[in-house]
Amino acid sequence: MISTLELPHHLPENPRNSTGSFIRLKNGNILYVYQRFNGAPYAGRCWHDHVGSDIVSRTSSDEGRTWTQTDKILLKNSAMNIGAPNLLRLSRDRIALVYLQKTKLSAPFVDCRPMIRFSDDETETWSEPAAICDFPAVYLANNNDVLRQLSTGRLVVPAGFHRFANTTDGCAPSAFALYFLSDDEGETWRCAKEWLLPPSSKIESGFQEPYVEELSDGRVMTWARTSDGAQYAAYSEDGCETWSPPRRAEEFLAPLSPMNIKRNPATGEMFAIWNDLHPRWGKRDPANAVTGNLSRNPLAMARSSDDGKNWHSHRILENEPERGYCYTAMFFTKDALLLSYNCGGGGNVCCLQDARISRIEL
């Protein structure tokens, strides 16, 4: 694994670089967009989730081996902040951008919801923003790299519904997973018939930061981070409308940190990347945990050739003890996986402050 782009924070003007997404442009270049923070500290933290931010981009013309050296602003912040970008090419070469927009309400609450814009000129200009969710005053947290288009053409945006949000502490810890669906390539959206609820009130986190991935038989797998020491998974047979009872995914032991699973479109093989707490890697010293990283270490990868029934080729991608790794985005080239993720720590404050792109030969 070779790091091809480092995005360290620079105080005070750039306190954090965060979540991103990839897309291939018509000219063959790969575009990477990410959330660049540039606001004043919030609640005493320069890297707080509510600090002001823009969405900016870098470009690679050599399959992710090197990148342009300066940021280009893709979307300028017009609210509290914008981030968690998701890029997807639709039919007729239209590109969709789904992202989170936070708006400050009367203290102590924040409105947070997914928005969508479209570009018909390869991301040079964008349509006016439209809200995917029309709920009043809500805190809906979707991650980067979660937007999926099913084989039926349906678009899916999974999100965690937090029942309230305090601007000092961030969103409330307990969440339900819900799924926004569009059958007209993002022009209109609705909420799926069922929300996904944790099977026990003892899971204090609820289901946070859910993802989805379609299986070869047309079913859809979803999973979410929890405080129960593992991801929880469920399955849908009707395009994310309804779900099987969620189960604890013993193969994905993890802290309260998100996992990403994505299929290589060239081979059909599935790749999972998460903070693996399996004993196979030995015990970790909690004293080495980075402040605020929720023990997001090590960063591991596994592969599945049978739609997630079995996982193999487990390997550690990152394991520097004073750092944390999270919020990944995956993009497959002909012979490599491009992986972006947060990687802060060490002499820094938090794992969320720095980011990088690494290239994994396949």
74-110 pLDDT, tens digit per residue, is 999 989 999 999 999 999 899 999 999 999 887 778 8
Q: Write down the pLDDT at residue 283.
A: 66
State how far the Cα of 93 lies from the Cα of 80, in Å rounded to an integer: 31
Residue type present at position 102: K
Q: Helix, strand, or coil here: 71?
A: coil
186-204 pLDDT, tens digit per residue, is 999 999 999 999 998 889 9
Structure tokens belonging to residue 153: 């053409």
User: Residue 245: pLDDT above 90?
Assistant: yes
Q: How confident is the model at residue 232 (pLDDT cuts 50, 70, 90)?
A: very high
Residue type present at position 34: Y
Rounded average pLDDT over 318-339: 95
Q: How confident is the model at residue 294 (pLDDT cuts 50, 70, 90)?
A: low
Q: Is the peptide bond before 108 cis (omega within 30 degrees of 0)?
A: yes
User: What is the DSSP secondary structure assignment for residue 135, as one 8-state letter?
Assistant: -
Q: Write down the pLDDT at residue 122.
A: 98
Q: Is the peptide bond before 85 cis (omega within 30 degrees of 0)?
A: no
Q: Tell me the average pLDDT of the chain.
A: 93
With pLDDT > 90 as the criterion, what percentage of the chain qualifies? 83
Rounded average pLDDT over 307-315: 97
Q: Write down the pLDDT at residue 112.
A: 93
115-148 pLDDT, tens digit per residue, is 999 999 999 999 999 999 988 878 999 999 999 9
Q: Report the phi/psi class of residue 128: left, alpha or beta, with left for phi > 0 and alpha for psi in -120 to 50.
A: beta
Q: Write down the pLDDT at residue 44.
A: 87
CB–CB of 121/92 below 8 Å? no
Q: Write down the pLDDT at residue 63.
A: 97
